[in-house]
Structure 1
Amino acid sequence: MACVANGRVSTVTIVLIVLQVAISQERPDIKVNFEVLKPKGLRISIPDSSSSKISLFAFNGHLNRAIGSDDVGSIRGEVTKATNGRWEFEDPNVELKVGDVIHYYFIVTVDRVGYVIDNLTYTVGNLDNRSGGSNPNCQSSVTVIRGSTTPICSGQTIFEDHFDSLKENVWQIEQYIPIDNPEYPFVSYQRLPSDPTVSIVDGNLRIVPKLQQNQPGFTNMSIFTDNLNLFDGCTAPACSKQPSGADILPPVVTGRITTSKSFVFKYGTVHIRAKLPQGDWLYPEIMLEPFLKKYGNTNFASGVLKIAAARGNKELNSGPQDYGNKVLYGGPVMDFDCRNEVLKKNVLTNGRMWGDDYHEYSLRWSPDRIILLVDGVEWARVEPAVSGLAGRLPRSCNHVPRMLLAGGTRIAPFDDSFYITLGVSAGGISEFEDNLTSKNGWPKPWSNGARKAMLNFWKDLDAWYPTWSQSALLVDYVKVVAL
């Protein structure tokens, strides 16, 4: 019954499990400690036990209203490791006053047995001055790092990598077939033993797409006949594929890396200096993806933040409209059918392409708005309407009622934890509209809704593959700064 996201069971889905496990167990005598900070902030903890082994502490609470043991709290945290003898987390955004009442329950796993301790309240009696830790000038930030209890100061760099080496304790190199990706790209993500898709070259991260038929043991006919087996090192459920008729193997092998295992955060400014890939029907994956998928099982349902993207075709048109490498786009994606309603565009008019040079692409993500910048200059922002970010979209967007029912904030679905994703993809059914033409009026070779879309893309290989002379995504650095 539980949903496992990136190897972790979420607080929402763990409730039913622990209820079943602990129903016949005597509840442990554990007291929750509250430290209410001023001007704002709340620190919640339980003591570590020397006589029994605690492996999880999860808290869910509402301010001045009741909460059920199957609700997700507006005040919530999950801790999987004790620090200095306490299981502690801090929410720096809560502003409380004397007399406020927190209605809460918590989940604790003791000696591998889970317990739900519910129907609890805490009344605020006094406020403690925030010391700011060892930095007396620290101004508390709304930025949150998942799993960290250390106070974060505004302007603090909370993540940075200049790619002097490929730090595999930071970045997970993906290996799987993205069959449940709503963009349905015509690729597989692979960690190749030789001639890798992901590498460090001259101090830059390099992610480059290749052809499956050129890999050892494959030929051009392998697309129709050979099984693709990625079980050794697979990082997602789809680890193999056997082609059948028009349902061929993904013709493109590419790379993707994420911080899903090491760095997950909420709110902040992300800076990525990169040179975007060029080549027909390619596009970069430079984005933030949801960690727990709070608003639905797909990434689009729970929101994706595209920091920067530009289609790889140097010439790409639909009538007078330009869709090629001169057009930068980015912003929130909340629903597959409505993705273009909020995505913003920035067109170069100096004769250059976005893939010709390095640029610093930035995204400032706050509880109030999402701002896109390039080379330090703001070029777009998205702000919630009165009814929230969902209120900016047509009623036909099917995610709207789901977010309202889930009790999301005005910035929902971008009010939960996200991780960084970098990669290169090709084709698919969302990045390239139908009826586009590339160089010399050459038509897009597939229709997005067609059963033979990937096959028709591959059959046009002689037209698009020669354009992939600068097909790599090159990244100089990634940096995240607290708000």
Structure 2
Amino acid sequence: MFPQEPDYPFNAYTAEAIRIENGTLIIKPDISNKEIHDDKYISWDLGSSCTAEFGTRECVQTPSGAQILPPVISGKISTKGLFSFKFGRIDVRAKLPIGNWLIPEINLEPVFHEYGKLHYTSGLMRVAYVRGNQEFSGNLYSGAVLTDTEPGRSMFLKHYYSSVNWNNDFHVYSLIWRPGSLQMLVDNLSYGTFNGDNDYNLNNVPQAGRWVNENAPLDQMFYISLGVRVGGINDFEDSPLKPWKNSNSKAMYKFWLSTLSWYSSWTSPELVVDYVHVYAL
């Protein structure tokens, strides 16, 4: 599928980026084999392999002008329709990707979007989040994402810094989800808690009026998703080293023009997952 709002990453998700090897799950992004720069009027139709709604921009894209086809293919799998839960503990032993503008997706996502589908109104829980750039890879984040714009987007994430980059080796990333609270752990060391209503700053969460109780929106069934996405318009602040600006309509095109600079940094771009364990509390 072609991921859309709210983050608009610069990749397509396809099955060819996913494999099982020696009992581990490997999701490895790479440059797309589509000739996106030769003919901008040929559609990319994912056909029956698309996991989104048939005929939408999530399944078919036709580039026009600066709106090119995604320059990267990557993968994402989930337990949607197979397994979901409400409250419990999840442990994921994984090695995170190394490379500029790579983002591991080790998340819990809402099954029914009870409070709305757009802008993370129904919430998202990050089990582990480390940007792949060398300068960012000592910073681990985990917690709740309750809106797509800053400052609320990052407000409910907890941060743990390490002088040794998190993506150098395997670690066990854990999230303990209880009514009204989250606890974040790595290698069984707790580094943060989120206490729901007590930690909300509703001035920075425009959609909070839709939530019906103090545990919302994290009071519904969630499923597990694992993947790698690339770039996008929300996860990296604009800087002189970043080849695109988040507000620019040509963001993906600018990213593609800088392929030589970022692709050389992808020394280990894959997300490798050893196991996922879920426990009732």
What TM bracket, shorter-length normalisation?
Answer: over 0.9
Determine helix, strand or coil for the equivalent of 1:265: coil
Structure 1 residues 220 and 416, CA gap change in structure 2 (3 angstroms)? closer
Q: What is the one-letter code of the residue matched to 2:76? A: R
Determine what percentage of the aligned residue pairs are the same residue.
40
Structure 1's 357 and 396: CA in aligned 2 closer, same or farther, altered over 3 A?
Answer: closer
Whole-angstrom distance in 1 between the partners of 2:276 and 2:87: 16
Say whether 1:186 aligns with 2:6: no
Cα deviation for residue 396 of structure 1 reads 4.0
**Match in the other structure for 1:382:** 194
Name the count of aligned residue pairs. Answer: 275
Q: Which residue type is aligned with residue 346 of structure 1?
A: Y
State which of 407, 417, 421 in structure 1 corresponds to 2:225. Answer: 421
> Match for 2:77: what amino acid?
I
Change beyond 3 A, Cα 1:234–1:220? closer
Q: Partner residue of 1:34?
A: none
Deviations 1:191-215 (A, max 9, x none): 2xxxx21111122100000111xx2
Deviations 1:335-381 (A, max 9, x none): 112111111211102xx211101000000000031000000010111
1:481 Cα offset (Å): 0.4
Partner of residue 307, structure 1: 127
Per the alignment, in what secondary structure is the counterpart of residue 395 of structure 1? helix
SS at match of 2:267: helix
What is the CA–CA distance in structure 2 between the aligned matches of 1:413 and 1:364, rounded to whole Å? 16
Normalized against structure 2, the TM-score is what? Answer: 0.94
Q: What is the CA-CA distance between 1:222 and the residue it aligns to? A: 4.5
SS in 1 for 2:49: coil
> Residue type matched to 1:229 in 2?
D
Partners of 1:314 and 1:367 in 2: CA distance? 36
**In 2, Cα distance between the equivalents of 1:397 and 1:475?**
33
Matching residue of 1:287: 107
The superposition leaves residues 447-468 of structure 1 with CA deviations (integer Å, 9 ceiling, x where unpaired) of 1011011111111101000111
**Counterpart Cα distance in 2 of 1:345 and 1:230:** 37
**Helix, strand or coil at the partner of 1:355:** helix
Q: Per chain length, whose mean CA-contact separation is higher, i.e. which structure has more relative contact order (CA < 8 Å, sep 6+)?
A: 2
Q: 1:288 to 1:299 in 2, by over 3 A?
A: farther
Contact kept, 8 Å, 1:282 with 1:313, in 2: the verdict is: yes
Note the C-alpha offset of 1:430: 1.1
* Cα 1:248/1:210, change in 2 over 3 Å: same
Q: Distance in 1 between matches of 2:120 and 2:52?
A: 17
Deviation at 1:220, TM superposition (A): 5.1
Taking the aligned partners of 1:380 and 1:223, their CA distance within structure 2 comes to 49
Q: Aligned-pair RMSD on alpha carbons? A: 1.4
The 1-side partners of 2:203 and 2:107 are apart by: 26
Q: For residues 107-147 of structure 1, what are the alpha-carbon distances to aligned partners after superposition, in whole Å with 9 as ceiling and x for unaligned? A: xxxxxxxxxxxxxxxxxxxxxxxxxxxxxxxxxxxxxxxxx
Matches of residues 70-469 of structure 1 in structure 2 within 5 Å? 176-179=1-4, 181-191=5-15, 196-212=16-32, 215=33, 218-219=34-35, 221-222=37-38, 224-237=40-53, 238-298=58-118, 300-315=120-135, 324-337=136-149, 338-349=152-163, 352-384=164-196, 388=197, 392-403=200-211, 407-408=212-213, 410-435=214-239, 443-469=241-267
TM-score for the superposition, normalised by structure 1: 0.55
- 5+ residue gaps, structure 2: none
Q: Letter of the 1:368 partner, please give it.
A: G
